[in-house]
Amino acid sequence: MHKTAAYILGVSTKEEPAKISFPDEGRPIEEPYVCIAAQASSQCKYWNNPTGWDEVIKWLKAQGYRVICIDQKTVHGTGIVWNHIPYGAEDQTGSRPLTERARWLKHAAFFIGLGSGLSWLAWSTGTPVVMIAGFSHPTTEFETPFRIINWHTCNSCWNDPKERFDHHDFLWCPRHANTPRQFECTRLITAQQVIATIKPLVHKR
């Protein structure tokens, strides 16, 4: 999205994170930790693999990391579909100031998130961002070498000019709604894919 204005104005599309300044009291915990954010404003943005977060968190803990969830909400959804904080993550959810979130992110080994706001905040704090997303094409978000997408499934509907996003439909999946293929873009991203992407980051900071 950040490139759209540059294209319109005819200026460089080179990416640059926002320059932010915030009070920093140092590390919030002494042990090595990873921040995660599993919630989003629409189900298509979630990592819809039913065991994905559990497997990745278990693996991270085996590497000696604490896993801290910094989402605003512990549970989010609509109707009969509700998304809970991933099992095994430590709960730092709540309506906290963004400065507090930035502090947690700045001192994290890395951040694992979705195509949503906390990924952008993590990028601005200089923390490596592992982004799991399939509804959007990688050019939609900032460039990160740790972007995970499954090209062998339906993907990038967000960038399809034939599809109009419905803000009122939490379960928006324009191509495969109410079929076995609904949300396959992230449901078919495996924990093994994510772990393989994370490995180069382990104990680097």
pLDDT band at residue 112, thresholds of 50, 70 and 90? very high
pLDDT of residue 5: 84
Strands across the sheet containing 90-91: 90-91, 66-69, 33-36, 111-113, 129-132, 147-148
| Domains located in the chain, CATH noted | 29-201 (3.40.50.2000)
Give dist(CA 35, CA 111) in Å, integer: 5
pLDDT digits (tens, 9 = 90+) for 38-80: 999 999 999 999 999 999 999 999 999 999 999 999 999 999 9
Does the predicted model carry a pTM greater than 0.85?
yes
Amino acid identity at 114: L
Give the three-class secondary structure for 30.
Answer: coil
pLDDT digits (tens, 9 = 90+) for 124-148: 999 999 999 999 999 889 999 999 9
Give the three-class secondary structure for 76.
Answer: strand
Residues contacting 90, CB < 8 A, separation 6+? 66, 67, 68, 69
pLDDT band at residue 13, thresholds of 50, 70 and 90? confident
